[in-house]
Amino acid sequence: MTFPENLAVLADPVVPGRVPVTLLTGFLGAGKTTLLNRLMPAPEMATAAVFINEFGEIGVDHHLVERIDDALVILDSGCLCCTVQGDLIAELKRLHDRMARREIPPVSRVVIETTGLADPMPVVRALMEDRFVSARFRCEGIVTVVDAEHGTGHLARNREARLQVSMADRIVMSKTDLADRATRHALDRRLTELNPAAPRLTAAEAGRSAGLLFGGGIYAPEATPQDLGGWLGREAGINWSSPVPEVPLRTAGDAHSGRVRSFSVRLPAPVAWRGFALRIGEVLDCWQDKILRLKGIVAVQGIAAPTAIQCVQATAYAPVRLSRWPDSGVISAGQGAVVVIGEDLTAADEAAIRALLGDLPADALALRRAAALPGLATRNWFNERMPLAARPGLVSDAFLIQPRFLRDAGRRL
């Protein structure tokens, strides 16, 4: 398996501003701990803080220099390892306080290894919604490890495994040497169905270059996607300059019913921002129990650069103004695309979401509707500095229609 050549590798582990946080997840026995052990000696991890579930499983004993307390240790590389024994938010606050008091050296990033049965969404939402933590840390992305030999069965039987894959920004395939070609092909097909946008690489490739795992998400305003094509699905064969391929829904009697799936909505023209914000908020509110993640790159009327959006369940993160449009073959300038990843979404749900995103109200109407919806998930988007959409003029083949003040001004000339 070859990793995309155009995906940038993080060269400098020190990131200014908020500390990036990467979630390392995967189902039971997928190989998360093995991968983390391979990553420990990497230069990108030299100034990282690592939160782990089972301290004894991580091979750090020979690196140990000083034990600060029962939860935190410093390695000879400068890396910090913390066992996650309580509230993650409390541990992050404590980490920040220790850096502020200079009890420990500054960290460049945080890597959190979750349990095999963990749902990554609560962690992401906690990082996004806690004011103290979100001002100092940013969720950079989710890396999911999948067992190539048993992954298809895990995905068929376990909701947690499907959630972990569907939320991933990177997918790492472990134990590829133990799976035959037919097994790998079936797993690839299932992963594409669950998450067409996430680039995939083998555990060996990830272990050789830790930088390949970082920088894959777009949860923070200061973070620009390093590969916009992979972020929205070029690696899965989606070409936004042509009609979006449909992923057929399975029947209710299928073994994967109740599964996680994704679909894409193309936006062929620039959108009125407030109308778009209202519609995305309505989608999140109406399908909040089904939508796991929603992301997209859109052209906004009056802005030359593209804008990226990211939502997790009913939480809408601040939009990101990008500096450039993706390369040709992904999204053409002036167009846009939205990827919806959900659980138990029916064909009727998909059709209704497509209809909403295809009928955006004008600014004035969108503002009136939003005012009547105080709990709108995208209310924060209305505070963004975005141009007002141009009002279309009145056109008639039989009459010249002018506003009264222009007509009166013409009489005075």
DSSP string across 85-145: -S-HHHHHHHHHHHHHTTSS---SEEEEEPPTT--HHHHHHHHHH-HHHHTTEEEEEEEEE
Question: May I ask the CATH class of domain 232-383?
Answer: alpha beta
Report the alpha-carbon distance of residue 118 to residue 111 in Å, rounded.
15
**Where does CATH 3.40.50.300 sit in the chain?**
19-223
pLDDT at residue 144, as a whole number: 93
pLDDT of residue 116: 77
Task: Please name every residue paired with 138 in a beta bridge, in sequence order, or none if there are none.
Answer: 20
Q: Structure pTM?
A: 0.66
Residue-wise pLDDT for 12-21, tens only, equals 333 357 888 8
- HSE, CB side, 13 Å, CA atoms: give it for residue 178: 11
Nearest alpha carbon to residue 387 among 220, 233, 275, 238 = 275
* Angle in degrees, 0-180, between the axes of helices 120-129 and 159-166, rounded to the nearest 10: 50
Q: What type of residue is 307?
A: T
| Residues contacting residue 302 through CB under 8 Å, at least 6 positions apart | 270, 386, 387, 388, 389, 390
**Secondary structure percentages of the chain, helix, strand, coil, to 5:** 35, 20, 45
**Gap between the Cα atoms of 229 and 227, Å rounded:** 5
- C-alpha 317/C-alpha 223 separation (Å) is 13
Listed residue (209, 185, 169) closest to 23, CA to CA: 169
Token digits for 208?
Answer: 């050789």
Average pLDDT across each block of 10 residues of the chain; the chain has 413 residues. List them in order: 32 56 88 83 81 59 46 59 66 88 87 79 77 85 91 88 86 90 92 82 84 64 48 43 36 44 86 95 92 87 88 81 68 83 88 94 92 90 83 54 52 52
CATH class of segment(s) 19-223: alpha beta
Q: For residue 400, what pLDDT is reported? A: 54
**Which residue's structure tokens are 């109200």?**
361
What pLDDT shows up at residue 367?
93
- Any idea which residue has 């299928």 for tokens? 254
> In whole angstroms, how far apart are CA 162 and each of 149, 214, 223, 245?
16, 22, 27, 21
* Whether the Cβ atoms of residue 312 and residue 292 lie closer than 8 Å to each other: yes
Q: Please tell me whether residue 226 adopts helix, strand or coil conformation.
A: coil
Number of Cβ within a 10 Å radius of residue 104: 17
Going from the C-alpha of 157 to that of each of 119, 162, 200, 286, the distances in angstroms are 15, 9, 22, 27
Cβ–Cβ < 8 Å for 326, 235 = no
Question: How far is CA 201 from its chain centroid?
Answer: 18
In whole angstroms, give the CA distance from residue 207 to residue 226: 20
Query: What confidence score (pLDDT) does residue 390 get?
Result: 65
> Where are the domain boundaries for CATH 3.30.1220.10 in the chain?
232-383
Percentage with pLDDT > 90 across the chain: 18
257 secondary structure, DSSP code: T
Dihedral Cα 376, 380, 232, 214, nearest 10 deg: -130
pLDDT for 31 equals: 86
Cα 125 to the chain's mean position, in Å? 12
Geometric angle at alpha carbon 406, from 405 and 411, rounded to 5°? 95
